[in-house]
Structure 1
Amino acid sequence: MIDFKNGLIPTIVQDSKTDKVLMLGYMNQDAYKKSIDEKKVTFYSRSKKRLWTKGETSKNYLFIQEILIDCDQDTLLIKAKPSGPVCHQGSDTCWKETNNNKNFLFHLENIISDRIKKKQKDSYIYQLSKKGINRISQKLGEEAVELVIESKDNNKSLFLNESADLLFHYLILLKKKELEIQDVINILKNRHSES
Protein backbone atom coordinates (compact mmCIF):
# COMPACT_ATOMS: atom_id res chain seq x y z
CA MET A 1 0.00 0.00 0.00
CA ILE A 2 1.43 3.37 -1.01
CA ASP A 3 1.91 5.84 1.82
CA PHE A 4 0.44 9.18 0.68
CA LYS A 5 0.10 10.50 4.26
CA ASN A 6 2.39 13.47 3.47
CA GLY A 7 0.37 14.27 0.35
CA LEU A 8 3.08 13.93 -2.30
CA ILE A 9 5.53 11.14 -2.95
CA PRO A 10 8.65 11.27 -5.14
CA THR A 11 8.28 9.39 -8.40
CA ILE A 12 11.30 8.37 -10.44
CA VAL A 13 10.70 7.57 -14.10
CA GLN A 14 13.06 5.16 -15.82
CA ASP A 15 13.10 4.06 -19.48
CA SER A 16 11.77 0.49 -19.54
CA LYS A 17 14.18 -0.50 -22.31
CA THR A 18 17.39 1.36 -21.55
CA ASP A 19 17.05 1.61 -17.73
CA LYS A 20 18.12 5.27 -18.05
CA VAL A 21 16.57 7.53 -15.40
CA LEU A 22 14.47 10.06 -17.32
CA MET A 23 13.01 12.40 -14.72
CA LEU A 24 11.72 12.89 -11.19
CA GLY A 25 8.29 14.20 -10.31
CA TYR A 26 5.76 14.00 -7.51
CA MET A 27 2.43 12.22 -7.29
CA ASN A 28 -0.53 12.50 -5.02
CA GLN A 29 -3.33 9.92 -4.88
CA ASP A 30 -5.23 11.54 -7.76
CA ALA A 31 -2.15 11.66 -9.99
CA TYR A 32 -1.42 8.01 -9.21
CA LYS A 33 -5.01 6.97 -9.98
CA LYS A 34 -5.02 8.90 -13.27
CA SER A 35 -1.66 7.35 -14.21
CA ILE A 36 -3.04 3.87 -13.56
CA ASP A 37 -6.30 4.55 -15.44
CA GLU A 38 -4.69 6.13 -18.51
CA LYS A 39 -1.41 4.15 -18.48
CA LYS A 40 0.44 7.46 -18.95
CA VAL A 41 2.53 9.13 -16.25
CA THR A 42 0.66 11.95 -14.53
CA PHE A 43 2.24 14.04 -11.78
CA TYR A 44 1.01 16.62 -9.36
CA SER A 45 2.71 19.83 -10.49
CA ARG A 46 3.88 21.82 -7.47
CA SER A 47 4.28 24.96 -9.60
CA LYS A 48 0.94 24.70 -11.44
CA LYS A 49 -0.89 23.36 -8.37
CA ARG A 50 -2.74 20.78 -10.44
CA LEU A 51 -2.47 17.35 -12.06
CA TRP A 52 -0.13 17.36 -15.02
CA THR A 53 0.18 14.52 -17.52
CA LYS A 54 3.69 14.42 -18.91
CA GLY A 55 3.30 15.20 -22.62
CA GLU A 56 -0.05 16.96 -22.39
CA THR A 57 1.41 19.85 -24.43
CA SER A 58 4.35 18.27 -26.27
CA LYS A 59 2.64 14.90 -26.90
CA ASN A 60 5.86 13.28 -25.59
CA TYR A 61 4.03 10.95 -23.23
CA LEU A 62 5.54 8.42 -20.85
CA PHE A 63 3.64 5.16 -21.36
CA ILE A 64 3.69 3.07 -18.18
CA GLN A 65 5.11 -0.44 -18.45
CA GLU A 66 5.60 -1.21 -14.76
CA ILE A 67 5.27 0.49 -11.36
CA LEU A 68 7.42 -0.46 -8.37
CA ILE A 69 7.02 0.74 -4.78
CA ASP A 70 10.08 1.10 -2.54
CA CYS A 71 10.55 -0.75 0.74
CA ASP A 72 9.17 2.18 2.81
CA GLN A 73 6.17 2.47 0.49
CA ASP A 74 6.71 6.20 0.04
CA THR A 75 8.55 6.40 -3.31
CA LEU A 76 7.61 5.09 -6.75
CA LEU A 77 9.75 3.85 -9.60
CA ILE A 78 7.88 3.89 -12.89
CA LYS A 79 9.33 2.06 -15.86
CA ALA A 80 7.95 3.78 -18.93
CA LYS A 81 8.24 3.94 -22.69
CA PRO A 82 8.87 7.56 -23.75
CA SER A 83 7.30 8.72 -27.00
CA GLY A 84 9.85 11.52 -27.45
CA PRO A 85 12.26 13.75 -25.52
CA VAL A 86 11.37 13.89 -21.83
CA CYS A 87 12.80 17.22 -20.70
CA HIS A 88 10.89 20.43 -21.43
CA GLN A 89 14.19 21.77 -22.83
CA GLY A 90 14.15 19.08 -25.51
CA SER A 91 16.72 16.62 -24.18
CA ASP A 92 16.13 12.89 -23.68
CA THR A 93 16.36 13.19 -19.88
CA CYS A 94 16.10 15.99 -17.35
CA TRP A 95 19.84 15.58 -16.76
CA LYS A 96 20.66 16.31 -20.41
CA GLU A 97 21.76 12.72 -20.99
CA THR A 98 21.26 10.90 -24.25
CA ASN A 99 18.87 8.01 -23.80
CA ASN A 100 20.71 5.49 -25.94
CA ASN A 101 20.46 1.87 -25.13
CA LYS A 102 23.90 0.46 -24.59
CA ASN A 103 22.60 -2.77 -26.04
CA PHE A 104 23.09 -2.55 -29.79
CA LEU A 105 20.22 -4.98 -30.45
CA PHE A 106 17.70 -2.37 -29.30
CA HIS A 107 19.39 0.22 -31.51
CA LEU A 108 19.27 -2.16 -34.47
CA GLU A 109 15.62 -2.87 -33.74
CA ASN A 110 14.92 0.88 -33.96
CA ILE A 111 16.79 1.09 -37.28
CA ILE A 112 14.70 -1.79 -38.66
CA SER A 113 11.50 -0.11 -37.49
CA ASP A 114 12.56 3.23 -38.96
CA ARG A 115 13.46 1.79 -42.38
CA ILE A 116 10.12 0.02 -42.63
CA LYS A 117 8.12 3.01 -41.41
CA LYS A 118 9.85 5.42 -43.81
CA LYS A 119 9.49 2.94 -46.72
CA GLN A 120 13.09 3.44 -47.77
CA LYS A 121 13.01 1.90 -51.23
CA ASP A 122 16.79 1.34 -51.35
CA SER A 123 16.73 -0.48 -47.99
CA TYR A 124 17.12 -4.26 -47.86
CA ILE A 125 15.06 -4.24 -44.67
CA TYR A 126 12.13 -2.45 -46.32
CA GLN A 127 12.30 -4.58 -49.47
CA LEU A 128 12.25 -7.81 -47.44
CA SER A 129 9.48 -6.55 -45.17
CA LYS A 130 7.39 -5.61 -48.19
CA LYS A 131 7.54 -9.22 -49.45
CA GLY A 132 5.58 -10.34 -46.40
CA ILE A 133 5.75 -12.77 -43.53
CA ASN A 134 6.24 -15.89 -45.66
CA ARG A 135 9.36 -14.55 -47.39
CA ILE A 136 10.80 -13.22 -44.12
CA SER A 137 10.22 -16.60 -42.45
CA GLN A 138 11.78 -18.39 -45.40
CA LYS A 139 14.85 -16.13 -45.23
CA LEU A 140 15.15 -16.74 -41.49
CA GLY A 141 15.00 -20.48 -42.13
CA GLU A 142 17.74 -20.21 -44.77
CA GLU A 143 19.94 -18.30 -42.32
CA ALA A 144 19.30 -20.92 -39.61
CA VAL A 145 20.39 -23.72 -41.94
CA GLU A 146 23.52 -21.77 -42.92
CA LEU A 147 24.35 -21.29 -39.23
CA VAL A 148 23.95 -25.00 -38.53
CA ILE A 149 26.26 -25.84 -41.45
CA GLU A 150 28.91 -23.36 -40.23
CA SER A 151 28.65 -24.68 -36.66
CA LYS A 152 30.05 -28.04 -37.83
CA ASP A 153 33.32 -26.42 -38.95
CA ASN A 154 35.99 -24.55 -37.00
CA ASN A 155 35.84 -21.21 -38.82
CA LYS A 156 34.77 -18.80 -36.06
CA SER A 157 34.51 -15.86 -38.47
CA LEU A 158 32.02 -17.62 -40.77
CA PHE A 159 30.09 -18.98 -37.78
CA LEU A 160 29.79 -15.50 -36.21
CA ASN A 161 28.75 -13.91 -39.50
CA GLU A 162 26.01 -16.49 -39.98
CA SER A 163 24.96 -15.94 -36.35
CA ALA A 164 24.66 -12.22 -37.05
CA ASP A 165 22.61 -12.88 -40.22
CA LEU A 166 20.24 -15.13 -38.29
CA LEU A 167 19.76 -12.62 -35.48
CA PHE A 168 19.26 -9.74 -37.93
CA HIS A 169 16.54 -11.58 -39.85
CA TYR A 170 14.93 -12.68 -36.58
CA LEU A 171 14.61 -9.01 -35.58
CA ILE A 172 12.92 -8.27 -38.92
CA LEU A 173 10.48 -11.14 -38.34
CA LEU A 174 9.71 -9.86 -34.82
CA LYS A 175 8.98 -6.42 -36.26
CA LYS A 176 6.68 -7.89 -38.90
CA LYS A 177 4.82 -9.75 -36.13
CA GLU A 178 4.53 -6.38 -34.27
CA LEU A 179 6.71 -7.68 -31.43
CA GLU A 180 10.01 -6.54 -29.93
CA ILE A 181 13.13 -8.23 -28.62
CA GLN A 182 12.07 -7.01 -25.16
CA ASP A 183 9.04 -9.31 -25.39
CA VAL A 184 11.40 -12.27 -25.83
CA ILE A 185 13.68 -11.02 -23.04
CA ASN A 186 10.69 -10.79 -20.70
CA ILE A 187 9.81 -14.44 -21.35
CA LEU A 188 13.41 -15.48 -20.71
CA LYS A 189 13.47 -13.45 -17.48
CA ASN A 190 10.22 -15.07 -16.32
CA ARG A 191 11.56 -18.53 -17.09
CA HIS A 192 14.75 -17.73 -15.19
CA SER A 193 12.84 -16.52 -12.13
CA GLU A 194 10.67 -19.67 -12.16
CA SER A 195 13.64 -22.06 -12.26
Structure 2
Amino acid sequence: MKIDFAKYTDGLVPAIVQDAVTNKVLMLGFMNEEALTKTKELNKVTFFSRSKNRLWTKGEESGNFLLLKDIKVDCDNDTLLIKAEPVGPVCHTGADTCWDEKNVSNDFLSQLENIISDRKNNPTEKSYTASLFAKGINKLAQKVGEEAVELVIEAKDNNDELFKNEAADLLFHYLILLQAKGFKLEDIIAILKERHK
Protein backbone atom coordinates (compact mmCIF):
# COMPACT_ATOMS: atom_id res chain seq x y z
CA MET A 1 0.00 0.00 0.00
CA LYS A 2 1.71 3.17 -1.24
CA ILE A 3 0.21 6.36 0.10
CA ASP A 4 1.32 9.70 -1.29
CA PHE A 5 1.53 11.73 1.93
CA ALA A 6 3.71 14.29 0.11
CA LYS A 7 0.89 15.19 -2.29
CA TYR A 8 -0.52 17.61 0.30
CA THR A 9 1.70 20.30 1.80
CA ASP A 10 0.76 19.37 5.37
CA GLY A 11 1.45 15.66 4.79
CA LEU A 12 -2.09 14.74 5.76
CA VAL A 13 -4.35 12.54 3.64
CA PRO A 14 -8.12 12.26 4.05
CA ALA A 15 -9.24 9.09 5.84
CA ILE A 16 -12.86 8.14 5.30
CA VAL A 17 -14.13 5.80 8.01
CA GLN A 18 -16.82 3.31 7.05
CA ASP A 19 -18.57 0.74 9.24
CA ALA A 20 -17.18 -2.66 8.26
CA VAL A 21 -20.60 -4.31 8.60
CA THR A 22 -23.22 -1.74 7.58
CA ASN A 23 -20.99 0.13 5.08
CA LYS A 24 -22.28 3.46 6.47
CA VAL A 25 -19.79 6.32 6.27
CA LEU A 26 -19.11 7.23 9.90
CA MET A 27 -16.69 10.15 9.78
CA LEU A 28 -13.83 11.84 7.97
CA GLY A 29 -10.46 12.48 9.55
CA PHE A 30 -6.89 13.07 8.43
CA MET A 31 -3.86 10.87 8.78
CA ASN A 32 -0.18 11.40 8.41
CA GLU A 33 2.26 8.51 8.16
CA GLU A 34 2.64 8.34 11.95
CA ALA A 35 -1.14 8.18 12.49
CA LEU A 36 -1.43 5.35 9.99
CA THR A 37 1.37 3.42 11.70
CA LYS A 38 -0.27 3.95 15.12
CA THR A 39 -3.63 2.80 13.73
CA LYS A 40 -2.07 -0.46 12.58
CA GLU A 41 -0.20 -0.95 15.87
CA LEU A 42 -3.20 -0.33 18.12
CA ASN A 43 -5.88 -1.73 15.80
CA LYS A 44 -7.75 1.45 16.77
CA VAL A 45 -8.24 4.26 14.27
CA THR A 46 -5.86 7.11 15.03
CA PHE A 47 -5.85 10.47 13.26
CA PHE A 48 -3.69 13.53 13.24
CA SER A 49 -5.86 16.17 14.88
CA ARG A 50 -5.43 19.52 13.20
CA SER A 51 -7.07 21.35 16.10
CA LYS A 52 -4.98 19.60 18.79
CA ASN A 53 -1.89 19.47 16.56
CA ARG A 54 -1.12 15.90 17.67
CA LEU A 55 -2.02 12.26 17.14
CA TRP A 56 -5.49 11.47 18.38
CA THR A 57 -6.92 7.98 18.79
CA LYS A 58 -10.67 8.16 18.27
CA GLY A 59 -12.27 7.26 21.59
CA GLU A 60 -9.25 7.98 23.78
CA GLU A 61 -11.44 10.08 26.08
CA SER A 62 -14.97 8.76 25.43
CA GLY A 63 -14.14 5.06 25.05
CA ASN A 64 -15.98 5.10 21.71
CA PHE A 65 -13.12 3.58 19.74
CA LEU A 66 -13.11 2.63 16.08
CA LEU A 67 -11.67 -0.89 15.91
CA LEU A 68 -9.67 -1.36 12.72
CA LYS A 69 -10.89 -4.04 10.31
CA ASP A 70 -9.32 -3.03 6.97
CA ILE A 71 -7.50 -0.22 5.18
CA LYS A 72 -7.73 0.55 1.48
CA VAL A 73 -6.09 3.29 -0.58
CA ASP A 74 -7.80 4.95 -3.54
CA CYS A 75 -6.67 4.89 -7.17
CA ASP A 76 -4.64 8.13 -6.79
CA ASN A 77 -2.89 6.87 -3.65
CA ASP A 78 -3.94 9.97 -1.72
CA THR A 79 -7.09 9.00 0.21
CA LEU A 80 -7.67 6.19 2.69
CA LEU A 81 -10.80 4.14 3.24
CA ILE A 82 -10.77 2.76 6.77
CA LYS A 83 -13.22 -0.02 7.56
CA ALA A 84 -13.88 -0.18 11.27
CA GLU A 85 -16.17 -1.49 13.97
CA PRO A 86 -17.48 1.39 16.07
CA VAL A 87 -17.68 0.95 19.84
CA GLY A 88 -20.52 3.32 20.66
CA PRO A 89 -21.51 6.51 18.85
CA VAL A 90 -18.92 8.00 16.52
CA CYS A 91 -19.74 11.70 16.61
CA HIS A 92 -18.88 13.92 19.58
CA THR A 93 -22.57 14.93 19.61
CA GLY A 94 -23.56 11.35 20.48
CA ALA A 95 -24.84 10.54 16.98
CA ASP A 96 -23.98 7.28 15.23
CA THR A 97 -22.24 9.20 12.43
CA CYS A 98 -20.87 12.70 11.95
CA TRP A 99 -23.77 13.31 9.54
CA ASP A 100 -26.34 12.46 12.22
CA GLU A 101 -27.41 9.30 10.44
CA LYS A 102 -28.38 6.07 12.15
CA ASN A 103 -25.73 3.44 11.62
CA VAL A 104 -28.00 0.66 10.46
CA SER A 105 -27.79 -1.53 7.44
CA ASN A 106 -29.98 -0.80 4.45
CA ASP A 107 -30.27 -4.56 4.19
CA PHE A 108 -33.88 -5.62 4.82
CA LEU A 109 -32.89 -8.71 6.81
CA SER A 110 -30.88 -6.55 9.22
CA GLN A 111 -33.87 -4.25 9.61
CA LEU A 112 -36.10 -7.26 10.24
CA GLU A 113 -33.68 -8.53 12.88
CA ASN A 114 -33.87 -5.13 14.60
CA ILE A 115 -37.69 -5.34 14.61
CA ILE A 116 -37.54 -8.88 16.03
CA SER A 117 -35.13 -7.67 18.74
CA ASP A 118 -37.48 -4.82 19.60
CA ARG A 119 -40.42 -7.22 19.91
CA LYS A 120 -38.32 -9.43 22.18
CA ASN A 121 -37.12 -6.58 24.41
CA ASN A 122 -40.35 -4.53 24.37
CA PRO A 123 -43.15 -7.12 24.14
CA THR A 124 -46.77 -6.15 23.61
CA GLU A 125 -49.86 -8.35 23.78
CA LYS A 126 -50.64 -7.68 20.11
CA SER A 127 -47.25 -8.85 18.84
CA TYR A 128 -47.10 -12.31 17.29
CA THR A 129 -43.31 -12.24 17.55
CA ALA A 130 -43.42 -11.36 21.26
CA SER A 131 -45.88 -14.20 21.85
CA LEU A 132 -43.38 -16.66 20.31
CA PHE A 133 -40.61 -15.49 22.63
CA ALA A 134 -43.00 -15.81 25.60
CA LYS A 135 -43.67 -19.48 24.80
CA GLY A 136 -40.03 -20.39 25.34
CA ILE A 137 -37.26 -21.99 23.34
CA ASN A 138 -38.86 -25.45 23.03
CA LYS A 139 -42.05 -24.13 21.42
CA LEU A 140 -40.06 -21.77 19.23
CA ALA A 141 -37.79 -24.57 18.01
CA GLN A 142 -40.87 -26.69 17.35
CA LYS A 143 -42.38 -23.85 15.29
CA VAL A 144 -39.23 -23.66 13.14
CA GLY A 145 -39.48 -27.41 12.58
CA GLU A 146 -43.14 -27.11 11.53
CA GLU A 147 -42.28 -24.33 9.08
CA ALA A 148 -39.44 -26.43 7.63
CA VAL A 149 -41.79 -29.37 7.05
CA GLU A 150 -44.34 -27.09 5.37
CA LEU A 151 -41.60 -25.77 3.06
CA VAL A 152 -40.55 -29.32 2.13
CA ILE A 153 -44.17 -30.21 1.32
CA GLU A 154 -44.57 -27.15 -0.91
CA ALA A 155 -41.24 -27.87 -2.62
CA LYS A 156 -42.73 -31.12 -3.96
CA ASP A 157 -45.64 -29.28 -5.59
CA ASN A 158 -45.65 -26.79 -8.44
CA ASN A 159 -47.18 -23.76 -6.72
CA ASP A 160 -44.36 -21.21 -6.69
CA GLU A 161 -46.31 -18.67 -4.63
CA LEU A 162 -47.04 -21.14 -1.83
CA PHE A 163 -43.43 -22.31 -1.90
CA LYS A 164 -42.09 -18.74 -1.61
CA ASN A 165 -44.51 -17.94 1.23
CA GLU A 166 -43.46 -21.03 3.17
CA ALA A 167 -39.80 -20.15 2.57
CA ALA A 168 -40.47 -16.66 3.98
CA ASP A 169 -42.24 -18.17 7.02
CA LEU A 170 -39.29 -20.47 7.70
CA LEU A 171 -36.74 -17.65 7.38
CA PHE A 172 -38.77 -15.39 9.67
CA HIS A 173 -39.11 -18.01 12.38
CA TYR A 174 -35.45 -19.00 11.99
CA LEU A 175 -34.43 -15.37 12.68
CA ILE A 176 -36.59 -15.42 15.81
CA LEU A 177 -34.96 -18.67 16.97
CA LEU A 178 -31.50 -17.21 16.40
CA GLN A 179 -32.33 -14.22 18.61
CA ALA A 180 -33.84 -16.46 21.26
CA LYS A 181 -30.47 -18.25 21.38
CA GLY A 182 -28.61 -14.92 21.52
CA PHE A 183 -27.35 -14.87 17.93
CA LYS A 184 -27.86 -12.86 14.77
CA LEU A 185 -27.69 -13.84 11.13
CA GLU A 186 -24.21 -12.29 10.87
CA ASP A 187 -22.95 -14.95 13.33
CA ILE A 188 -24.12 -17.69 10.98
CA ILE A 189 -22.78 -15.87 7.92
CA ALA A 190 -19.36 -15.70 9.63
CA ILE A 191 -19.36 -19.50 9.92
CA LEU A 192 -20.31 -19.89 6.26
CA LYS A 193 -17.52 -17.49 5.25
CA GLU A 194 -15.03 -19.46 7.33
CA ARG A 195 -16.14 -22.70 5.68
CA HIS A 196 -15.80 -21.08 2.26
CA LYS A 197 -12.06 -20.40 2.72
Deviations 1:155-193 (A, max 9, x none): 5554333222221233345553746437628957x96xx
State the superposition RMSD in angstroms: 3.5
Change (3 A) 1:92 1:66: same
Is the 1:40–1:53 contact (alpha carbons within 8 Å) kept by the matching residues of 2?
Answer: yes
Find the aligned partners of 1:115 and 1:163 in 2 and give their Cα distance.
22
Task: Name the structure 2 match of 1:143.
Answer: 147
- Asked if 2 retains the 8 angstrom alpha-carbon contact of 1:119 and 1:126, the reply is no
Give deviations 1:69-100, integer Å, cap 9, x for gaps. Answer: 22233321112222333222233322233333
Corresponding position of 2:2: 2
Aligned counterpart, 1:16: 20
Offset of residue 115 of structure 1 = 5.9
Where does structure 1 lack aligned partners over 5 or more consecutive residues? none
Instruction: Quote the sequence identity (%).
Output: 56
The Cα of 1:30 is off from its aligned counterpart by 2.9
Aligned length: 188
Asked whether the 8 Å contact 2:3–2:73 carries over to 1, the reply is: no
Aligned ranges 1:76-95 → 2 under 5 Å: 76-95=80-99
**Could you tell me which amino acid in structure 1 is paired with residue 189 of structure 2?**
V
Segment of structure 1 superposing worse, 18-27 or 62-71: 62-71
Which of residues 36, 39, 64 is equivalent to 2:40? 36
Residues 1:75 and 2:79 are matched in the alignment: yes
How far apart are 1:23 and its partner, in Å?
1.2
| 8 Å CA contact 2:90, 2:97 repeated in 1 | yes
Deviation at 1:47, TM superposition (A): 0.6
Tell me how far apart the structure 1 counterparts of residues 116 and 62 of structure 2 sit (CA, whole Å): 26
1:48 maps to 2:56 = no
Give distance in 2, aligned partners of 1:64 and 1:81: 7
**AA paired with 2:169?**
D
1:140 and 1:166 in contact (8 A); partners too:
yes
Change (3 A) 1:53 1:138: farther
Q: Distance in 1 between matches of 2:24 and 2:151?
A: 35
Contact 2:5–2:13 (CA<8 Å) still a contact in 1?
no
CA shift in 2, pair 1:172/1:80, >3 Å: farther
Whose Rg is larger?
2
Which residue in the other structure is 1:181 paired with? 186
